[in-house]
Amino acid sequence: MVLLNGSALAVNWEQKNIPAIVEAWYPGQAAGQAIADVLFGDYNPGGKLPVTFYKSVKDLPAFDDYKTSGHTYRFFKGEPLYPFGYGLSYTTFAYDNLTTTVSPLAGDTVHVSVNVKNTGKVTGDEVVQLYIAPVRPSDKSPIRSLKGFERVRLKANESKKIDFIIPPDAFSRVNEKGGRIVSRGEFELTVGGGQPISNGAPFLKTTVTLH
C-alpha cells in the first residue's frame, strides 16, 4: 500500500492486514519513478516519521486545542500506531559501544558516541536518533525529547562511529514566565533507530548526571 497524504492517517486495518506500507506524503512530479524504485528494490528507503500516527481519534486533542500536554511524542503516554521517528528499510541495523562524557567546564556539555552497523545484506541509510528524558520527571516534564540525529549510509556489514555534542540548553525547560531553566539531576539518554519503546527499533540507553 502506498499512502499519499499530508499528515497522519487512520490506517489501523491496513497495519493488521497489509504486509507493507510506503509513506510517500506529497511526493511531487517525480513520485511515480521514486515509488517504483522503492517497490522494485532499486532504492532502499530510510525515512523516519516526523509525526505520530495515533490509534484512535480519542487520542487526538480538540481541533482548537494547541496545547501539547498529553499529545505529540514528547507528552503522549499511550501506545501509538506508529511513533514519531519510526521507519523501516530493506536492511537492519545494530548498535553497540555507547559512551558518554560530561564536561563540567563546558557547562555540563555531554559528548556522546555510539557504533552503528548495517547487519543486513544491502546498502541502506539509518537515521541515528538521540533522546533524553529526566529520570525523576515533574508533572510538566516531557516523557522524552529528541536532541540529536544523524543520517548515515552504510554498506552491508559496514559500521561507523557516530558522535553527538549535547549542549547544556538541551537539558533546559521553559517556565510559565517564558524563562529558560537548565535542569539538573539524572537523565536517561537513549540512542538508536527510534524511540525507546516497543516498536522494534534497536536502541541503547545509559544515564548521565548534571550537577
Rounded distance between C-alpha atoms, residue 84 and residue 51, angstroms: 5
202 pLDDT higher than 70: yes
128 pLDDT higher than 70: yes
Higher pLDDT, 21 or 140: 21
Q: Are strands 203-210 and 185-192 parallel, antiparallel or unpaired?
A: antiparallel
Whether this model's pTM surpasses 0.75: yes
pLDDT tens digits along 42-68: 999 999 999 999 999 888 877 777 777
How sure is the predictor about 106, in pLDDT bands with cuts at 50, 70 and 90?
Answer: low
Q: Which stretch of 121-125, 161-165, 196-200 has the lowest confidence by average pLDDT?
A: 196-200
Rounded distance between C-alpha atoms, residue 84 and residue 54, angstroms: 10
Q: Give the pLDDT confidence score for residue 198 in this predicted structure.
A: 67
- Counting residues of the chain whose pLDDT is more than 90, the rounded percentage is 70
193 pLDDT higher than 80: yes
18 pLDDT higher than 90: yes
Q: Give the pLDDT confidence score for residue 117 in this predicted structure.
A: 98
How sure is the predictor about 183, in pLDDT bands with cuts at 50, 70 and 90?
Answer: confident
Q: Give the pLDDT confidence score for residue 210 in this predicted structure.
A: 84
Give me the residue spans of the domains in the chain: 2-75, 93-210
Give the chain's end-to-end CA distance (angstroms, integer).
50
Q: What is the mean pLDDT of residues 138-154?
A: 91
- Tell me the CATH class for 93-210: mainly beta
